[in-house]
Amino acid sequence: MSTPEDTGRSAPPWAPAVPDPSAAALQRAVPAAERLLAERGIPEASVARLPVYLRALRALVERGVRTVSSEELAAAAGVGSAKLRRDLSHLGSYGVRGVGYEVAPLVAHVSRELGLTQEWRVVLVGVGNLGRALASHGGFAERGTVVVGLFDADPGVVGQEVAGTVVRPMADLAEVVRSEGVCIGVLATPGAGAQAACDALVAAGVTGVLTFAPAVLQVPEGVDVRKVDLASELQILAFHEQRKADAARGGPAGAGAAQPVDPVPAGLAPRATAHAPGHPRGVRRRTGVSR
């Protein structure tokens, strides 16, 4: 069976400005076994890290580096080397034992895996403060993504020009999605109108949604939703800050915090808890970002 590999359009836009002798490597046929492995299941956790690896790899390309060890790349991506190796192993074997990974081929491979060999056209619904920023934020999509339409339910906003594009009414959504081949939508509406906007996107044929709205979205099977919740992120940080403050004040083991009835000193300012118990200043390390 013919592998749907790089037919036509050869080199990706970001192909290393370098001569690139390994072009052949790109064409190299991928063993069926490997492909199946990759197809069958790349853990979601790994997929989520691929963009990070890709960014690190591109930086390396920029610097003219041709080969990296898992240790180096992992450090650049802020993860452990073992994790990185396993993640990459899900894509097939693209490293050379005793040497490391060839940057150029790896960039190409990861890009292809993420579907970045094609351009993804997206529509943005909700042109408020955030929506405007996202539309203008040239690099928010880095590469591979193009906003082909801005929409808003507010008649007052429709017609305005934002980032060189005219905001269109929701009524035009379906038509644009179809004609432009859009399958990803970005939602930047207030929480109240989020579900309605989401429904409109789905009805139009979008199957992937990135939402910034503070609302729980209900979507039909087959539609992916990724949610970025700014308020929540801050609240989570606040939780940790409070925890640190408590630890600094009282003894660990949540002296007072453990009790349901915690006499919260409402008036007490969370003063710089900069110097918790014992923080070895000056030592840098990456901080877990959980997920």
- The answer to whether residue 211 forms part of the interface with DNA (CB under 7 A) is no
Residues with Cβ within 8 Å of residue 73, at least 6 apart in sequence:
53, 56, 57, 60, 81, 84, 101
User: Which CB, 137 or 159, lies closer to a copy of itself?
Assistant: 137
- The answer to whether residue 60 forms part of the interface with a copy of itself (CB under 8 A) is yes
# chain residues binding DNA, by CB under 7 A = 29
- The answer to whether residue 95 forms part of the interface with DNA (CB under 7 A) is yes
- The answer to whether residue 166 forms part of the interface with a copy of itself (CB under 8 A) is no
SS (H, E, C) 155-185: CCCCCCEECCEEEEEHHHHHHHHHHHCCCEE
> Nearest distance from residue 31's CB to DNA, in Å?
9
Given a copy of itself, DNA, none, residue 46, with its beta carbon under 5 to 8 Å by kind, binds DNA
> If we measure between CA atoms, which residue out of 209, 243, 240 comes closest to residue 227?
209
Q: Out of 4, 8, 19, 98, point to the residue binding DNA (CB under 7 A).
A: 98
Asked if residue 103 lies in contact with residue 72, where contact means CB atoms within 8 angstroms, the answer is: no
Asked if residue 146 lies in contact with residue 116, where contact means CB atoms within 8 angstroms, the answer is: no
Cα gap 129→38, rounded to integer Å? 40
Fill in the per-residue mask, 227 to 266: x = in contact with a copy of itself (CB under 8 A), - = not in contact. Answer: xxxxxxxxxxxxxxxxxxx-x----xxxxxxxxxxxxx-x
Q: Which residues are annotated as a binding site for NAD(+)?
A: 126-131
Q: Out of 77, 148, 167, 201, point to the residue binding a copy of itself (CB under 8 A).
A: 77
Given a copy of itself, DNA, none, residue 227, with its beta carbon under 5 to 8 Å by kind, binds a copy of itself
Cα gap 21→43, rounded to integer Å? 32
Cα gap 152→167, rounded to integer Å? 7
Cα gap 31→77, rounded to integer Å? 28
- The answer to whether residue 255 forms part of the interface with DNA (CB under 7 A) is no
User: Which CB, 114 or 153, lies closer to a copy of itself?
Assistant: 114
Q: Out of 82, 196, 230, 238, point to the residue binding DNA (CB under 7 A).
A: 82
Q: Out of 82, 86, 115, 159, point to the residue binding a copy of itself (CB under 8 A).
A: 115
The token pair at 291 is 């997920």
- The answer to whether residue 90 forms part of the interface with a copy of itself (CB under 8 A) is no
Residue in the block written with tokens 């590469």? 143
Q: Out of 101, 135, 149, 162, point to the residue binding DNA (CB under 7 A).
A: 101
Q: Out of 84, 107, 118, 170, point to the residue binding a copy of itself (CB under 8 A).
A: 118
- The answer to whether residue 71 forms part of the interface with DNA (CB under 7 A) is yes
Cα gap 5→26, rounded to integer Å? 9
DSSP state of 119: P
- The answer to whether residue 80 forms part of the interface with DNA (CB under 7 A) is yes
Asked if residue 73 lies in contact with residue 94, where contact means CB atoms within 8 angstroms, the answer is: no
- The answer to whether residue 44 forms part of the interface with DNA (CB under 7 A) is yes
Residue in the block written with tokens 């490391």? 100
Given DNA, a copy of itself, none, residue 85, with its beta carbon under 5 to 8 Å by kind, binds DNA
Residue in the block written with tokens 């063993």? 31
- The answer to whether residue 73 forms part of the interface with a copy of itself (CB under 8 A) is yes
- Residues found near DNA in the complex (CB under 7 A): 1, 28, 38, 43-46, 68-71, 79-83, 85-86, 88-89, 93-101
